Structure 1
Amino acid sequence: MKIQLTSVFVDDQAKALHFYTEILGFVMKHDVPLGEKDRWLTVVSAEEPHGVELLLEPAGHPAVKPYRDTLVQDGIPLAQFAVDDVRAEYERLSGLGVRFTQEPLEMGPVTTAVFDDTCGNLIQIATTPQ
């Protein structure tokens, strides 16, 4: 068994696609229209184009808003992405205008930082020992 697809709820798929590709560096994998405005829109790591897909899921379901609002209010990231160097990625993303809610923080062998993805979510980046 392996993880093939996971998702983040987004307020605006076009805005999310821009952020996740142009700012974070992911690559669009699938873009399939679903009705008038929604799409089956996935991105993947440029380093692993056949790896796990991230679905940029429309946040229209009524349960999504209170769920995400509570996570953000409590400072809890919705997802975590692995990076080689949290501090370097923090500097790169900060330079692109990304707003961090947690600067790089060392927690034993793991270093993390948390940013706002501009689409309603907090995302954690982490470097773990290899």
Structure 2
Amino acid sequence: MARHAEPKAPRRGLLLKAGLGLTAAGAAVLGAGAAAQAAPGAAVPLPVDSLTRTDAGAAGAGALSGVTHGVGPLTRLQLDPLANTGVDPLANGIGTQIADFKPVGTNLLTDHVTKGGAVADLPVAGPLTQKLLP
């Protein structure tokens, strides 16, 4: 390739210089902040007395309340996003009947999910989640 046909990439050098400049500026700002924070001055007293008197029961109850209110609505979400549509692959079922006995099929197990049910609507998991979560 001839020297005059060689592609020139002035943008690469410009972007490299800009990136290095931003990195240096960020390091200078963070370094100044760390130095200002570490400067000797009036020490902030720690509330040692309040740390020893923490009510563990109340803290646990508050954490449990927050988790249950955050996770509780998830039990009412529809499990199968394709439920009640014509393209739901879980809606396929198979069944059989022997002599005069009641017919048995897989729809007994999958109907809760394919009809748009949530975790709270499931036969075994539903009552269990209702006991554990509000």
TM-score by length of 2: 0.20
Pick 1 or 2: higher relative contact order, CA cutoff 8 A, min separation 6.
1
Structure having the larger proportion of residues in strand = 1
Q: TM-score, normalised by structure 1?
A: 0.20
Structure having the larger proportion of residues in helix? 2
